[in-house]
């Protein structure tokens, strides 16, 4: 994509593209735990794939992108009609998908207007809940279809948080839901110098591994000058970039990743979506469909179960 979120050759990860887990977030005192994700399996599969096998890398990296054409639907597990409409309005405001993708990926106007309960629309693409003490997070792209809820906005109400912060958090999580990863994890990001002992002790993570899944840089693979991820320069303005207090960095506010909070998607965030869901995606999706059976066999080990689930899911969606 052209954003520091990159997205694998066929994916985009503005957020870096593809390789981390869902996406937890960053308000002190609240649980910021990543939900379980296929990212460790994706990273493992890429590491096990010869750098010369760009076709396989492209297919693996493409797995989280929504198939196109598609109109993404939404449902809610809880929340009043007013709160649901507040969320859907913020999603539409942050990400004008139809304009960014030439109509290949859009938000379904009917479900975003009626904001249905998930029991009434069990096949909805994005399933949102407001469970308290469970943080702000979202699964990435099509992984949302395998999880209920697929996004959580802990403790949101009709009036809180304040509108600016409300839109920031919804915009960030929606960025994950449409396929973006974290900007600070981009292969092109600088060495942030994270103070992990501080971050682990001052924020609530399920484990140190969950924490690292949200911070560690993705590894780009290059063969004959071709990258496994497509990305542009590191973007400090990205809404997918974490912001923390100086104590979260070993070098304090002098860290190159110490930023002022970003409240809206940056130009590069939006360009990442344009590129990821560009005209070539249709061809790339065909490659995923044709290669899926062979890849299922290639990654037959038990530790690739999530990867195989994604392959099966993506193949089903592309039929």
Bigger pLDDT: 259 vs 5: 259
What kind of architecture, by CATH, is found in domain 7-317?
Answer: 3-Layer(aba) Sandwich (3.40)
Q: Which of 30-34, 131-135, 208-212, 266-270 has the lowest mean pLDDT?
A: 30-34
What per-residue confidence (pLDDT) applies to 13? 30
Within 8 A by CB and 6+ apart from 225, the residues are none
Would you give the distance in Å from CA 107 to the centre of its chain? 16
What per-residue confidence (pLDDT) applies to 1? 24
Write the DSSP symbol of residue 153.
E
Within 8 A by CB and 6+ apart from 42, the residues are 18, 19, 60, 61, 63, 307, 310
| Rounded alpha-carbon distances, angstroms, from residue 72 to 94, 122, 168, 223, 268 | 15, 13, 20, 35, 22
SS3 state at 152? strand
- pLDDT reading at 64 higher than 50: yes
Write the DSSP symbol of residue 30.
S
Residue 276 in contact with residue 12, Cβ under 8 Å? yes
Q: Report the share of the chain in percent with pLDDT over 70.
A: 84
For the chain, where are the alpha helices, taking DSSP H only?
A: 39-48, 54-62, 81-94, 97-101, 109-114, 163-177, 196-202, 208-215, 267-276, 281-298, 305-317
Residue 36: exposure state from Cβ atoms within 10 A (0-12, 13-18, ≥19)? middle
Residue ranges per structural domain of the chain: 7-317
pLDDT tens readout for residues 67-115 = 999 999 999 999 999 999 999 999 999 999 999 999 999 999 999 999 9
Strand order in the sheet with 151-153: 74-76, 126-129, 151-153, 136-138
**CA atoms lying within 13 Å on the CB side of residue 72:** 28
Q: Which of 39-53, 123-137, 194-208, 224-238 has the lowest mean pLDDT?
A: 224-238
SS3 state at 239? coil
What per-residue confidence (pLDDT) applies to 181? 82
Phi, psi at residue 240, to the nearest 5°?
Answer: -90, 10
Q: In terms of Cα–Cα distance, which of 96, 99, 166, 88 is closest to 124?
A: 88
Q: Report the share of the chain in percent with pLDDT over 90.
A: 57
d(CA 296, CA 298): 6
**Sequential DSSP letters for 206-229:** S-HHHHHHHHSPPPP-EETTEESE
- pLDDT reading at 135 higher than 50: yes
Residue 112 in contact with residue 121, Cβ under 8 Å? no
What is the average pLDDT value for the chain, to the nearest integer?
A: 83
d(CA 114, CA 75): 9
**Sequential DSSP letters for 66-94:** PPSSEEE-EEESS--HHHHHHHHHHHHHH
Residue 318: exposure state from Cβ atoms within 10 A (0-12, 13-18, ≥19)? middle
């Amino acid at each position: 994509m052209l954003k520091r979120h990159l997205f694998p050759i066929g994916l985009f990860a503005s957020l870096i593209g593809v390789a981390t887990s869902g996406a937890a977030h960053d308000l002190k005192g609240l649980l910021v735990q990543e939900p379980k994700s296929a990212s460790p399996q994706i990273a493992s599969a890429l590491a096990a794939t010869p750098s010369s096998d760009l076709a396989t890398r492209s297919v693996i990296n493409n797995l989280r992108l929504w198939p196109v054409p598609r109109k993404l639907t939404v449902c809610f597990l809880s929340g009043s009609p007013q709160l649901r409409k507040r969320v859907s309005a913020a999603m539409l405001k942050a990400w004008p998908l139809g304009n960014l993708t030439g109509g290949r990926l859009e938000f379904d106007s009917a479900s975003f207007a009626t904001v249905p309960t998930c029991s009434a629309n069990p096949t909805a693409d994005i399933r949102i809940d407001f469970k308290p003490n469970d943080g702000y997070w979202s699964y990435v792209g099509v992984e949302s279809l395998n999880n209920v809820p697929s996004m959580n906005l802990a403790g949101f109400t009709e009036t809180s948080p304040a509108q600016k912060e409300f839109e920031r958090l919804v915009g960030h999580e929606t960025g994950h839901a449409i396929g973006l990863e974290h900007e600070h994890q981009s292969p092109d990001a600088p060495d942030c110098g994270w103070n992990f002992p501080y971050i682990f002790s001052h924020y609530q993570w399920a484990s140190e591994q969950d924490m690292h899944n949200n911070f560690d840089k993705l590894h780009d693979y290059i063969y004959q000058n071709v990258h496994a991820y497509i990305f542009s320069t590191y973007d400090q303005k990205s809404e997918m970039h974490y912001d923390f207090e100086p104590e979260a960095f070993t070098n304090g506010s002098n860290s190159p990743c110490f930023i002022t909070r970003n409240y809206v998607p940056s130009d590069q965030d939006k360009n990442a979506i344009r590129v990821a869901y560009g005209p070539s995606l249709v061809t790339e999706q065909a490659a995923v469909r044709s290669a899926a059976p062979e890849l299922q066999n290639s990654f037959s080990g038990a530790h690739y179960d999530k990867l195989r689930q994604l392959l099966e899911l993506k193949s089903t969606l592309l039929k």
